[in-house]
Amino acid sequence: MKAYPDYSSLRHDLDAGLETCTNRVSWHFSNIKKKEHLNAFLEVYESEALAHAAFVDKKIRNKTAGKLAGLVVGLKDVLSYKDHGLQGGSKILNGFMAQYNATAVQRLLDADAIIIGRQNCDEFAMGSSSENPTFGPVLNDIDNSRVPGGSSGGSAVAVMADMCQVSLGSDTGGSVRQPAAFCGIVGLKPTYSRISRYGLAAYGSSFDCIGIFSKSVSDCALVLEVIAGHDEFDSTVSRHPVPHYQEELTKLKNKKFKIAYMRDTLESSALQTEIRSAMSGTIEKLKSAGHSVSPIDFPLNEYVLPTYYILVTAEASSNLSRFDGVRYGHRTDKATDLHSLYKKTRTEGFSTEVQRRILLGTFVLSSNYYDAYYHKAQQVRRLIREGMKNIFKDFDFILMPTTPTTAFKIGEHSSNPVEMYLADLFSVQANVAGVPGISIPCGKDKLGLPIGLQFLGDDFNESGLLAIATETLKSIN
């Protein structure tokens, strides 16, 4: 059995009777078992997925199958899939079963996609390495001594190692794009509100986005087309029309774009030499292909990362207050009163990193520091968004490194939270501004580790992002 480069080629063989969904699911399961040491999955749904595959095979034969028939999908352990485990990678949700389907998951199922399992991640999506303290670290398939990125590391590795065709992850500060870069695949973070967050375990509600991993841009386009759009269950989701993204790829195929790159990101001392070279080479190739590429300055760059961490920890402090041991999940057996129940349950259930972010968020929301930190950060966030929107008046896209380095060693930054936070240096910009971004593979460093570059676009310009990503991959390869 073979790995298909994209869903369209798989669907061709499924419709022609040259392949079956049952065979595809079995092949992916064989890869999961062979590469179990990578620790990408927390749970697999073998018998259920095979039964669903047989059902979809019948629909294909009857020519009644949906748009994603036979597409095998993995879910990050932050997405609700009814009657299946949902833990957010945390001990505090031990034994919890999802009560309903996330809107994105339901739309996949309605289109006859097949869910194969739930995937390991940083606890409550708080991290940049997928070194989960409860379930163990996810390993990079290229070099098992290195991280796959985070927080959606299991989702990226599953696609990278052919354990599924596509994964859904979440991107709060780069948690789809950074693992995509470390694993050499495509990672799409859409515009905030493009995809309903209903059924997504909340970390930072004004930052969280469901994102898509695949090995091809066209698969991202197709899945986005299915799962995006208005949802009555999410008051923050946009009513902006959902284009036919695959058709848009064809329409924009020969269009020449105006692209900016931020001078200080390319010149940053934090940027690994090989990533700088890859970006410089990509700029030249884009120019040779007829695109306009120009350097720009963005004076607010130095404020993006601190603004992100002030606001996202504040939102985490609020969102995670619901996990208290009273209604579901882990409950301490050492409580003597209600106060000790809360305190001991949360101390036992949350990892050190989650506790750190809750404490930081509680601090910036406290009455003594609210104006100095939280309120000020909200003002700076508005300025950053306005600055980005102004750039998109003159340019179609911004080209940036996805990460400052390639995949680092497991444990390398574990003892220094600031070093770990700096892994998000270039990825948080899209989330602070709320704009879409896509990371694509762009060569390898001297150790053979993948390099990722990202394009950021204006609100709801996913069509353009998918098009420039496709053209850039062609010019690189």
Q: What is the pLDDT of residue 210?
A: 98
Within 13 A of 174's CA, how many CA atoms are on the CB side? 35
Q: How would you label 106-121 residue by residue, b for 16+ Cβ within 10 Å and e otherwise?
A: bbbbebbbbbbbbbbb
| Model confidence pTM above 0.85 | yes
Q: What is the pLDDT of residue 254?
A: 87
Q: What is the rounded distance in angstroms from the CA atom of residue 423 to the CA atom of residue 401?
A: 11
- Quote the crossing angle between the two packed helices 46-61 and 21-34, to the nearest 10°: 160
Specify which residues 399 forms β-bridges with.
261, 455
Q: Does residue 167 carry a catalytic annotation?
A: no
CATH entry 3.10.129.10 includes domain 7-251: no
How far is CA 290 from its chain centroid?
31
Q: What is the pLDDT of residue 250?
A: 92
Pair 201, 93: CB distance under 8 Å: no
Sequence-ordered strand ranges (E) for 57-194? 72-76, 114-119, 131-132, 136-137, 166-170, 186-189
Q: Does residue 90 carry a catalytic annotation?
A: no
Q: What is the pLDDT of residue 235?
A: 96
Task: Supply 360's token pair.
Answer: 């930081």
Task: Supply 236's token pair.
Answer: 């923050």
Catalytic residue among 35, 76, 189, 215: 76
Q: What is the pLDDT of residue 151?
A: 98
DSSP type of residue 267: T
Within 13 A of 240's CA, how many CA atoms are on the CB side? 18
Pair 240, 194: CB distance under 8 Å: yes
pLDDT in tens, 352-365: 999 999 999 999 99
Q: Which is nearest to 312 in space by CA: 366, 365, 233, 348?
A: 365
pLDDT in tens, 401-447: 999 999 999 999 988 999 999 999 999 999 999 999 999 999 999 99
Catalytic residue among 80, 129, 130, 151: 151
Neighbours of 335 (CB within 10 A): 15
Q: What is the rounded distance in angstroms from the CA atom of residue 388 to the CA atom of residue 390?
A: 5
Per-run averaged pLDDT (10 residues), the chain, 477 residues: 94 98 98 98 98 98 98 98 98 97 98 98 98 98 98 98 98 98 98 98 98 98 98 97 95 94 94 97 97 97 97 98 93 94 96 97 95 97 98 98 98 92 96 98 98 98 98 89
Q: Does residue 63 carry a catalytic annotation?
A: no
Residue 259 CB partners (closer than 8 Å, separation 6+): 286, 291, 292, 293, 294, 395, 396, 397, 398, 399, 455, 468
Q: What is the pLDDT of residue 1?
A: 79
Task: Supply 418's token pair.
Answer: 């600031």
Q: What is the rounded distance in angstroms from the CA atom of residue 150 to the CA atom of residue 160?
A: 14
Catalytic residue among 80, 167, 170, 175: 175
Q: What is the pLDDT of residue 26?
A: 98
Residue ranges per structural domain of the chain: 7-251
Q: What is the pLDDT of residue 270?
A: 93
